[in-house]
Amino acid sequence: MSLFDKWGNQKEEIATIKPRTITLNLSDADCYRLAQKSGGCGLSVSELLENFIGDLVDGTYSNGSDERMNANAWFERCGFSWLFDKNLLTYLIEWGNINNFLEELHDLEEAQESVSYWVSNATTKEDVETLEEEKEYLADLQGVIDEYINEYFQDNPNHKSKEEELESVIKWREEMEVLINGKAADTPQNDKMTEPENKYYTIYEVANIAGVEHHTIRRHIKEGLLKATKQGGRAWQVEENDLKEYLKGR
């Protein structure tokens, strides 16, 4: 289950409350006014903004239905919901596809790193076979991403280039990761790695042993049903003992 799936359950949302870092561009005068506004009613600046955000986004905590209505009326009157240039990001959010797209994009980026690793490090027949399988998987993922983008292009003839449209999504994702985690997700590195001492299996070997498709194994890793490790751009590796535990639970 992803973090997105948990949202909507207040108890689980409350458990994630912690200090966040948000950069605001404000004049010195507005900082003073904001401090006066909050201090004048016994609130800190953080508490004032937390309350407003909760009402604006129908958040984990809010001050009531009227307050939420007024916060959204402000949002609408400012034109934020309609006076903007549409792009791939706004299209995906509007149609409820942003989370699925981000998952596919994440898998695509991992597959690109994996292919890059095996291109540089494939030395045995098994390595070459893994490389070809990873290339096929990469092509499948690229096809899925292209479907999303082509649908957007068909509905929005005044679109920018594919690269520029993707950049809008990637930039938004990085901003969200910093907001949620305090930093952007780690970027895989294609450093040469030492071979593990224990016996490890590739996703394709695990799929063959378990008698399922490799897509199923990837999903089980993502869902936490199968332990796997990954260093740099290398493909997922399943340690022998973890594989045995996985097979016992099937």
Q: Summarize pLDDT for 97-112 with one digit per residue, the tens.
A: 999 999 999 999 989 9
Give whole-number Cα distances, 179 to 30, 43, 140, 173, in Å: 23, 23, 31, 10
pLDDT band at 194 (very low <50, low <70, confident <90, very high): very low
**To which H or E segment does residue 89 belong?**
helix 88-94
Task: Considering only residues 165 and 249, tell me which one the structure prediction assigns the higher pLDDT.
Answer: 165
The yes-or-no verdict on residue 163 having pLDDT over 90 is yes
Q: How far apart are CA 125 and CA 145, in angstroms?
A: 31
| Phi and psi torsions of 59, nearest 5° | -80, -170
Domain annotation for the chain: domains and CATH numbers: 3-10+17-77 (no CATH), 88-181 (no CATH), 200-248 (1.10.1660.10)
**Mind listing the pLDDT tens digit for each residue in 28-58?**
999 999 999 999 999 999 999 999 999 999 9
The yes-or-no verdict on residue 120 having pLDDT over 50 is yes
**Mind listing the pLDDT tens digit for each residue in 204-220?**
889 889 999 888 898 89
State what percent of residues in the chain have pLDDT above 90: 66
pLDDT at residue 113, as a whole number: 86
Instruction: Report the range of poorest mean pLDDT among 7-21, 81-95, 143-157.
Output: 7-21
Taking the complete model, does pTM exceed 0.85, yes or no? no
Query: Which residues, including other chains, have CB under 8 Å from residue 97's CB and lie 6 or more apart?
Result: 148
Give me the torsion for CA of 90, 180, 18, 13, rounded to 10°: 60
The yes-or-no verdict on residue 181 having pLDDT over 90 is no
| 155, 91 contact by CB (below 8 A) | yes
Q: How far apart are CA 191 and CA 117, in angstroms?
A: 8
| 250, 210 contact by CB (below 8 A) | yes
Q: How far apart are CA 233 and CA 191, in angstroms?
A: 8
Q: How far apart are CA 143 and CA 150, in angstroms?
A: 10
